Structure 1
Amino acid sequence: MVFGVDETRRVEIPNNETIRRGSTRLELTFVESPRDFMKDFKVVFDLSIIREITLGRSPENVVVIPDPTVSRKHAVITVVGNELLIKDLNSTNGTYVLDGNEFKRISEHRFSNETVIRLGYYTVIRLSVISESSDSG
C-alpha cells in the first residue's frame, strides 16, 4: 500500500521477451514535493520489463504523485530506441525540464542519461538512467 492506494500490480512478460542480467533501469528520485515524506523517495524501474511509466495524481498511474497541482494523468515516460521520451499529457499546470538554472515548459523531451523535471508547481523529480553491463559468466 503506497499513499493509501494498493499499488500491487501483476506484470506479464510476453513469450518473446526475456529478462536479461545487466539491464537498463530508470531511477526516479523526488527532489521536491509538497509532501515531506516524498522528498528523497526513489522508485526504480527495469526498462527491459516496463516500457511505459505514467505519472499523475490518479491511482491508475504507475507513479502516483500526491500534489494538487499535478493532473490526474499528467505525463508519460516511454522507451524510444536508445532514449527515453517524457511527454506531457495536456496537463493543466505543465511539465518542465531543467535547462541550466531554469525550468522550461515542454510538450515532450528526449533524454538518455539524466534529466530533472518539474510536474505542476511543486514536484521536482530527477530521472537517472542506470545501465549495467552483462556478466559473461
Structure 2
Amino acid sequence: MDWKLEVVVVPVSDVDRAKRFYSEQVGFNVDIDTQLGPEFRVVQLTPPGSGCSITVGTGLPQGVPGSLKGLQLVVTDVEAARAQLAERGVEVSAVKHFADGVQQDGHGGPWNSFIFFDDPDGNSWAVQERPEPAGGAG
C-alpha cells in the first residue's frame, strides 16, 4: 500500500491575498476555489509538476497564520527558480548552501543549493536544487 502526502494546509490570515501570492507570484496552479458555506472556503493550489498541493481557506483546521515553517520545494535549477520568483515580485534570498552546519552564500555540492522565501503571513519555504538524474530524465 502506498502512502502519499497530497495536501498540506497552510495557515493564512487572508485567503484572497494568499491565493494571489501562490498563484500569481510563486506560480502554483489553482486547482479549486470553492465556497461551501458562509464560513467554509477551500482554495487548493499545486506547484507545477508536484504530486502534493497546499490548501488555504476558512473553516479549515489550521494553526496560527505564519506558523508553518520548513516547507520545501525541489527544482532542477535553483538559479532559474530564484529568477522566476524575483521577477514575479517575491522577496527571495540569494542562493545559499550549508558547510559545517553553517549557511553560506553561493552554490554547494549536489543537493546543497537553496533559496528561501516567506509568504505574506510569514509561512517559510525553502527551494532545494536536486541534481539531474542520470540520463537527464527527471
Do the two structures share a fold, i.e. TM-score over 0.5? Answer: no
More strand by share: 1
The two structures have a TM-score, normalised by structure 1, of 0.32
The two structures have a TM-score, normalised by structure 2, of 0.32
Tell which structure's C-alpha radius of gyration is larger: 2
